[in-house]
Amino acid sequence: KRQHPETWLRVGEYSPLLKLPQFLLGVVLGRAFVLRRPKPTPGTSGSGLVAAGTALGLLWVSWPGQTWAFRDVVLTAVFAWLIWTLACGHGRLATFLARAPVVRLGEASYALYILHVPLAFYARSAERWSGAALEQRAPWGYSALAITSFVLVAVAVHAWLEEPARRWIRSRWVRPRPAPLPAASGLL
């Protein structure tokens, strides 16, 4: 019988239970962010870029065998640092990510997450049906065209389906607040 030593590493990589510490760290970071007192922190302007560069460097390196678990621990800390720095609005990276077009892409990211697999299936089917063989002749061009199309579809779905549906649901579930009572003057 053939053994697959990497199997448990793959199971661990995608197990929701093993991702619980990362989830809880996110909850704690979110709560700490809400409760913090905003104040300028000197020396943090490049912190987001350093954190992003560190994360990219760690992802670039090959992590063989059982070092995957260590990689996840290190990346969790680095991503927590990056998220905190960006949430606080420090540095050029945070300024760039706060721009309206980038925020719009972030808002459409859930639609992209939901739609990317079916869109990829239909794009590949259409490409094969057309006989253009673009995927084989120009894989980078095909990928750029597909990704651009997927993002545009996701932005459209967010704007024309997700946002109107959210407004409709909120209008049905949110009860109007009663008008406040007039304040007493305190004089009798």
Q: How many residues appear in the chain?
A: 188
Q: Are residues 13 and 68 in the same domain?
A: yes
Closest residue by Cα to residue 33 from 84, 82, 78:
84
Q: Which of 56, 80, 98 is the last residue of a domain?
A: 98
Q: Which helix (H) or strand (E) holds 75?
A: helix 67-87
Q: Is residue 137 part of a domain?
A: yes
Contact between residue 16 and residue 76 where contact means Cβ atoms under 8 Å apart: no
Q: Could you give the CA distance from residue 154 to residue 104 in angstroms, rounded to a whole number?
A: 10
Q: Could you give the CA distance from residue 43 to residue 161 in angstroms, rounded to a whole number?
A: 42
Contact between residue 41 and residue 90 where contact means Cβ atoms under 8 Å apart: yes
At 54-97, the pLDDT tens digits run 999 988 888 776 677 788 889 999 999 999 888 888 778 888 98
CB atoms within 10 A of CB 154: 23
Q: How many domains does the chain have?
A: 2
- Beta strand residue intervals within the chain, DSSP E: none
Q: Could you give the CA distance from residue 58 to residue 113 in angstroms, rounded to a whole number?
A: 24
Residue-level pLDDT at 3: 63
pTM check: above 0.75: no
Q: Are residues 109 and 49 in the same domain?
A: no
Q: Is residue 187 part of a domain?
A: no
Q: Is residue 183 part of a domain?
A: no
At 20-31, the pLDDT tens digits run 999 999 999 999
**Residue ranges making up the domain that contains 157:** 102-173
